[in-house]
Amino acid sequence: MPSVENILSGLAGDHATGSLRLGRAGAFYLTDGRVTYAESAAVPRLEDLLGACRGISAHAVRQARQAAVRRPPDPRTPGPAGGEQLIAQGLLTRGELEFCVLSTVLDAAYFLLRATGHRPRFRRGERHWLGPQWYFDATGLLRECERRRAQLEQTWPSAELDTLPVVPLRRIGAQRVVLSSLQWEVLVGADSTATPADLARKLGRPAYSVLLAVRQLASSGLLRVPEPGPPEAPPAPPPPEPLPRRTRGATEIPAAGTGSPETSEWLPRANGDPADVNLLIRLRNALEAMT
């Protein structure tokens, strides 16, 4: 089965219009090969972001959605215009709507590309009720998702905290800590049972931003992290190869330190004296201290 990235790139090359659905995980919406919206079950909905950041009630968003779905299609517009109704009602400006759509699509796309176990299905002609508010080039969207993945790996190289409850430490080793506003919200909202996804919905924040804040807090030593498991046993060494049989006329290779100097110069002399090893370590530490 081709990956979601390959399918999305193929639809972009075909200038397709419709929805690429990944089961219950969510969907991408495309218009003429460009992504205009994305929604994921792992991130807060647009209604949640609008309610938390702009104070817009979920009822007002629901009414705009129902009106856009019931409205007969207009050949002069590229699709449903629920977003236009929100603007016309004075609930938010066009710039605010575009910013919320931008944040929602980038957030949902990152988690949709990580979703597994879902069979992609493309529904030609299906559009999102908001209408196209922002156009994302598929290649640029995939590149941004890869940059975000690398940013998470650089902040905290393990995904173990992504699905575990966020548990702040009661006591830290530092005397002073500098936090961003989102990091402070995460620490205040953490109740030792909520996962990063739960906190994102509770705070009305993009899920990726909360996930990054959680990894930053873990990197700063402010969260409880799982204890590392026992180290894996080293693999067993391969069995020694059998010695070749001595044939008539063959010349025996002398061992190191035996035989004539001419025959033993090609073998390095081994020295396993611990004193020499400790001396090398002290010299290395002294050189590092001088640099």
Phi and psi at 50, nearest 5°, equal -65, -35
Q: What is the mean pLDDT of the chain?
A: 82
Q: According to the 3-state scheme, what is the secondary structure of 75-89? A: CCCCCCCHHHHHHHC
**């290395």: which residue's tokens?**
284
104, 39 contact by CB (below 8 A): yes
Q: What does 18-66 look like in DSSP terms, one character per residue?
A: EEEE-GGGEEEEEETTEEEEEEETTS--HHHHHHHHS---HHHHHHHHH
227 versus 124: the higher-pLDDT residue is 124
Domain locations along the chain? 4-147, 159-219
The rounded distance, in Å, linking the Cα atoms of 158 and 21 is 29
Give the phi and the psi of residue 255 in degrees, each rounded to 5.
-75, 165
Q: What is the pLDDT of residues 269-278, one digit of tens each?
A: 444 455 555 6
Contacts of 62 (CB under 8 A, 6+ apart): 47
217-266 residue pLDDT tens: 999 999 999 876 555 556 666 666 665 565 555 444 444 444 444 444 44
pTM of the model: 0.74
Tens of pLDDT, residue by residue over 54-84, are: 778 878 888 888 888 776 555 455 556 788 8
pLDDT reported for residue 285: 58
pLDDT of residue 232: 56
Lowest mean pLDDT among 18-22, 114-118, 268-272: 268-272
**Percent of the chain whose predicted confidence (pLDDT) is above 70:** 75
